[in-house]
């Protein structure tokens, strides 16, 4: 007779599932069709499962309802990327079924798998075939039908049959998705799901494999450790931010930039027809403000002593005051903002635009739902707008919404940095929430964006031979050009995105580029759109050499 699954066995199964996907995460990463340096799927699923492994490892003598609920909660908070979120939803649905019994038989396990699939499908607006959803649905449907014809089937047979049918479904994904078929690979998310299920099956059968898992890399810090930074590393004392009304339209903003650069660093200047927003680190904040006053009245001013803040942070760390427990800020205003970005310059840009809390993340480093939740908690506002700025972070942000009991949270599903910047520029404090939401969505939709990165692997994508190390230009996330020469890859993208009627272009250069490199790109832009107003921003972002946006 097949043994039943109780709380203790369920914990062992989830832990072994986490170890299995950890072992196979690079294999899953290599299945990513697009050759950009993301490596998202396997890594995200592994990190998501690790959150459940860590939680269940601490549970002692838990029954099945408790263990399955703990796993679902940990996975929800630890979910990273779209694949990780879907995986967490599969377990959340399973938990709804498993909480009905102290021990699960084969039929209950099959129904739990089916419940998980239903939960995952509900969360995806336009589910596509040939994905993790397909593989999990086909596997669950098969074992439910088996149990309907023979209710005595045990858990062991359900797991084995789910795996067998799941592997068949995984093979079929190659032909269900045109992109997968061109690349001749199976779906990475479906592969990851079956890796988890294989680990769970091993644990059910008492098999605990010696898995070839690499030494863990140091856990990424959620924030800087300030005691690692000496006060000498702080070049200038005052973080100075202001917004100046642009009454004198003729005054040259480029001269303001040059002056502020001469008295400080970490400079970001964002402008439109009505205002100039400035962020600069300097020892002469009075001179910075005086330069701003030449444009018109100062609408907002914020000056902070960074050396004093640094000392306070070190004291806070030494006394153990920092905690991972949720700290929900009381509302002090109606609206607040959370944004995701990587790179000191981009963080400063969003801060200048009014973002309260920044979450470190982006390509190759998708934050978890819990990371986004803690940022929302920290915003002292009744209504919090969240800008994920990456298509693989949107679902994780959406999962944070039901966890925020005391605030209204609005997700603006921005898929890249330019969309996030454009959305923030369109916000109007005087408008109602729904009006702002629509305005921000419209603004994000009307900006054209391109990125320049490199090929992480050899690939035959969309009929083009791509070699590892080549420069890639992506226009609206689609491959525009690839070349051994960066300028060749950039030129084609600039020609396609910058029309003569183009009004505004932002060139955001990354951590491996210089202002001179950006000036070279500016010449390409002005050749295509001579009348465009071009802004160059030191974003400091990893992965992308340049992020370029065009409007008008």
pLDDT digits 0-9 by tens, 260-298: 888 988 777 777 777 888 878 888 988 999 998 998 888
Q: Which residues pair with 459 in a beta bridge?
A: 466
Using left for φ > 0, alpha for ψ between -120 and 50, and beta otherwise, residue 94 falls in: alpha
Cα–Cα distance between 541 and 389 in angstroms, integer? 13
- In this model, does residue 220 exceed pLDDT 50? no
- Read off the pTM: 0.74
State how beta strands 333-341 and 381-387 pair. parallel
- By CB atoms closer than 10 A (0-12, 13-18, 19+), residue 225 is exposed
Question: Rounded CA gap, 417 and 346, in Å?
Answer: 8
SS3 5: strand
> What is the pLDDT confidence band of residue 396, given thresholds at 50, 70 and 90?
very high
pLDDT (tens digit per residue) in 456-465: 777 776 667 8
* HEC assignment per residue over 452-478: EEECCCCEEECCEEECCCCEEEEECCE
With contact defined as beta carbons under 8 Å apart, do 411 and 386 qualify?
yes
Q: Cα angle vertex 424, ends 526, 417, to 5°? A: 60
Rounded to an integer, the average pLDDT of 237-241 is 83
- Report the Cα 204 to chain-centroid distance in Å: 34
What DSSP string describes 523-540? Answer: HHHHHH-TT-EEEEEE--
Q: Please give the Cα distance from 88 to 73 (Å, whole number).
A: 9
- The CB density around residue 442, as the number of other CB atoms within 10 Å, is 12
Structure confidence at residue 195 (pLDDT): 97
pLDDT of residue 299: 84
d(CA 38, CA 186): 17
SS3 state at 189: helix
The mean predicted confidence, pLDDT, of the chain is 87
By the 8 A CB rule, do 24 and 42 touch? yes
Among residues 184, 161, 159, the alpha carbon closest in space to that of 173 is found at 184
d(CA 243, CA 248): 14
Mind giving me the DSSP string for 299-347? EEEEEEEHHHHHHHHHHHHHTT---SS---PPP-EEEEEEEEE-SHHHH
Q: Are 412 and 385 in contact (CB under 8 A)?
A: yes
Taking each helix axis from N to C end, the angle separating 64-78 and 40-58, rounded to the nearest 10 degrees, works out to 140
Q: Which two tokens stand for residue 335?
A: 């609206």
Q: What is the pLDDT of residues 414-449, one digit of tens each?
A: 999 999 999 999 999 999 999 999 999 999 999 999
CA-to-CA distance for 65 and 88, rounded, in angstroms?
A: 16
Backbone angles phi, psi at 340, to 5 degrees: -105, 130
The predicted pLDDT at position 300 comes to 82
User: Is the model's pLDDT at 309 over the cut of 70?
Assistant: no
pLDDT in tens, 49-91: 999 999 999 888 899 999 999 999 999 999 998 899 999 999 9
Q: Are 75 and 51 in contact, with CB atoms under 8 Å apart?
A: yes
d(CA 171, CA 164): 11
Who's near 122: CB < 8 A, 6+ residues apart? none
Which residue is it, tokens 């400035």? 278
Q: Which are the contacts of 526, defined by CB distance < 8 A and separation ≥ 6?
A: 532, 534
Residue 98 has pLDDT above 90, yes or no: yes
Determine the Cα angle at 32 with ends 30 and 35, to 5°.
90
Cβ neighbours of 377 (radius 10 Å): 20
Q: Phi/psi of residue 488, each to 5°?
A: -65, -40
Query: Is residue 226 scored above 70 in pLDDT?
Result: no
Q: How far is CA 473 from the centre of its chain?
A: 21
In angstroms, the CA 48 to CA 54 distance is: 10
- Residue 410: enclosing H or E segment and its boundaries? strand 408-411
Q: Are 191 and 206 in contact (CB under 8 A)?
A: no
* Interatomic CA distance for residues 479 and 35, integer angstroms: 10
At 408, is the secondary structure helix, strand, or coil?
Answer: strand
């Amino acid at each position: 007779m097949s043994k039943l699954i109780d709380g203790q066995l369920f914990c062992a199964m989830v832990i072994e599932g986490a170890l299995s996907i950890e072992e196979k995460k690079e294999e899953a990463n290599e299945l990513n069709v697009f050759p950009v340096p993301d490596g998202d799927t396997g890594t995200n699923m592994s990190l998501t499962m690790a959150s459940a492994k860590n939680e269940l490892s601490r549970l002692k003598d838990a029954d099945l309802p408790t263990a399955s609920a703990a796993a679902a909660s940990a996975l929800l908070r630890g979910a990273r990327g779209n694949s990780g979120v879907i995986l967490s939803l599969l377990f959340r649905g399973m938990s709804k079924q498993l909480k009905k019994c102290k021990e699960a038989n084969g039929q209950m396990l099959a129904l739990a798998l089916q419940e998980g699939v239903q939960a995952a499908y509900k969360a995806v607006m336009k589910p596509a075939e040939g994905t993790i959803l397909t593989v999990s649905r086909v596997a669950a449907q098969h074992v439910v039908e088996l149990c309907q014809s023979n209710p005595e089937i045990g858990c062991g047979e359900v797991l084995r049959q789910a795996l067998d049918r799941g592997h068949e479904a995984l093979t079929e994904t190659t032909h269900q998705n045109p992109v997968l078929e061109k690349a001749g690979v199976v779906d990475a998310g479906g592969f990851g799901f079956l890796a988890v299920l294989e680990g769970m099956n091993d644990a059910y059968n008492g098999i605990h494999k010696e898995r070839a898992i690499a030494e863990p890399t140091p856990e990424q810090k959620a924030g800087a450790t300030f005691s690692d930074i000496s006060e000498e590393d702080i070049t200038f004392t005052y973080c100075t931010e202001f917004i100046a009304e642009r009454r004198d339209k003729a005054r040259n903003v480029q001269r303001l930039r040059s002056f502020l650069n001469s008295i400080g660093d970490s400079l970001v200047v964002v402008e439109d027809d009505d205002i100039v927003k400035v962020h600069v680190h300097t020892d002469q904040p009075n001179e910075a403000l005086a330069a701003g006053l030449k444009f018109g009245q100062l609408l907002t001013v914020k000056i902070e002593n960074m050396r004093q803040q640094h000392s306070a942070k070190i004291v806070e760390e030494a006394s153990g005051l920092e905690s991972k427990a949720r700290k929900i800020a009381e509302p002090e205003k109606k609206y607040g903002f959370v944004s995701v970005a990587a790179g000191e310059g981009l963080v400063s840009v969003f801060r200048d635009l009014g973002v309260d809390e920044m979450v470190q993340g982006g390509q190759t480093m998708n934050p978890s739902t819990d990371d986004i939740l803690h940022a929302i908690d920290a915003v002292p506002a009744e209504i919090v707008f969240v800008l994920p700025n990456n298509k693989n972070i949107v679902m994780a942000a959406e999962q944070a919404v039901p966890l925020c009991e005391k605030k209204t949270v609005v997700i603006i599903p921005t898929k890249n940095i330019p969309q996030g910047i454009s959305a923030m520029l369109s916000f109007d404090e005087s408008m109602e929430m729904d009006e702002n939401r629509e305005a921000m969505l419209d603004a994000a939709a009307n900006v054209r964006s391109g990125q320049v990165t490199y090929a992480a692997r050899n690939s035959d994508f969309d009929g083009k031979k791509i070699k590892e190390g080549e420069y890639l230009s992506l226009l609206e996330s689609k491959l525009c050009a690839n070349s051994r020469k960066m300028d060749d890859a950039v030129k084609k993208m600039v020609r396609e995105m910058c029309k003569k009627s183009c009004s505004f272009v932002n060139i955001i250069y990354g951590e491996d580029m210089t202002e001179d490199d950006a000036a070279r790109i500016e010449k390409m832009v002005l050749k295509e759109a001579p009348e465009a107003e071009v802004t160059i921003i030191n974003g400091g972002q990893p992965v992308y050499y340049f992020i370029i946006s065009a409007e008008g």
